[in-house]
Amino acid sequence: MFTQTAHNVQNYKIEGRWRILFLVMTALLILPVLIILTLLIVRGGPAISWEFLTAFPIKGMTAGGVFPALLGTIYLVSLALVFSVPLGIAAAIYLSEYAPDNVMTRIINLAIINLAGVPSIVHALFGLGAFVIFMEFGTSILAASLTLAIMTLPVVIVATKESLQSVPQAFREACWSMGATRWQTIRRIVLPNAVSGILTGVILEVSRTAGETAPIMFTGAAFFLPFLPESVFDQTMALSLHLFVVATQVPNVPHDLPYGVALLLVAIVLLMNALSIGFRVRLRNKKKW
């Protein structure tokens, strides 16, 4: 017969306590998210309408819609991607597939990881100095997008490198031993099997970029513009900054309005995250090894 020692019983009790502790911690973590979401939907939901999405703000931004800000965010994010994605993927391919494993490479890798941790306000000031003033782009969509691109580049690089490195080394060695060059191996085997992972990283980047305020505040986003931008050298409104403005800078804004803007922003971000989760699931189902 099996008999429990005092030690067994003791372990069992302690195990139970740990379980509950971790459960409570998790619940505490989820709670604020739930509260925020509920609040946004309850308070912001009524503000959202077709007019809200397609009209200009009116009456000193206390009424009307957020169309120019929504469009501006799309412009900024898209243009930032145009710069950061090709550059980031190329850099990741070099670092993961070509670079020799030496001190220099390690320093670069470390620098990239640290760059990802630099506060966005620092990127903002860099963008102001480099693009707005030095390169004379002025406060413009171009300068703001470049600033966002610089800010997101490290994350694109890290995400891409990780997906490249998840492709087993044995595949590369099999290709090389057949006389394939590095590039042939990358193009035919490594990239096709990393592309879903890269896409996931890029989409997560979009959601992060869409929410940033500091980097665009000094470089290209405007409080209010009565017209849409006509070129990349114009300023633009943006959702994130607009939220800040209607929530804190404008008097007599109806209470629902900031909640509506916030809900829209969160919805965009969540949509992007859902997309990236979708890709990840597809990736898992399509695993070829």
Surface-to-core class of residue 172, CB atoms within 10 Å of its CB (0-12 exposed, 13-18 middle, 19+ buried): middle
> By C-beta, is 14 or 174 nearer to other proteins?
174
Query: Closest CB to other proteins among 85 and 167?
Result: 167
- Tell me the closest approach of the beta carbon of residue 190 to other proteins, in angstroms: 10
**200 Cβ partners below 8 Å, 6+ apart?**
159, 163, 276, 279, 280, 283
3-state helix, strand, coil in the chain (%, to 5): 75, 0, 25
Question: Under the rule (CB under 8 A), what is the footprint of other proteins?
Answer: 100-101, 168, 170-171, 173-181, 184, 188-189, 192-193, 288-289
Residue closer to other proteins, measured from CB, 79 or 93: 93
Q: How far is the CB of 101 from other proteins (least distance, A)?
A: 5
> Looking at beta carbons only, is 66 or 95 nearer to other proteins?
95
For the CB of residue 182, give the shortest distance to other proteins in the complex, in Å: 8
Q: What's the min distance (Å) between Cβ of 17 and other proteins?
A: 45
* Least distance to other proteins, CB of residue 107, Å: 17
- The Cα 33–Cα 152 span in angstroms is 24
* Closer residue to other proteins in complex, CB, 193/200: 193
Give the nearest distance from C-beta 174 to other proteins in angstroms: 5
Is 19 or 106 the residue whose CB approaches other proteins more closely?
A: 106
Contacts of 284 (CB under 8 A, 6+ apart): none
**DSSP code of residue 221:** B
Query: Which residue, 20 or 178, is less far from other proteins as judged by CB?
Result: 178
Least distance (Å) between residue 192 CB and other proteins: 8
Taking the C-alpha atoms of residue 250 and residue 60, their distance in angstroms, rounded to an integer, is 8
* Residues 55, 61: Cα–Cα separation, whole Å: 11
Which of 114, 184 has the CB closer to other proteins? 184
Contact 238, 69 (CB under 8 A): yes
Taking the CB of residue 254, how many other CB atoms lie within 10 A of it?
A: 12
Tokens representing 289 are: 């090894």
CA gap 138, 90 in Å, rounded: 28
Calpha distance 244→204 (Å, rounded): 22
Token pair, residue 118, equals 């630099």
Beta carbon of residue 279, minimum distance to other proteins (angstroms, whole number): 18
Counts for the chain of helices (H) and strands (E), in that order: 12, 2
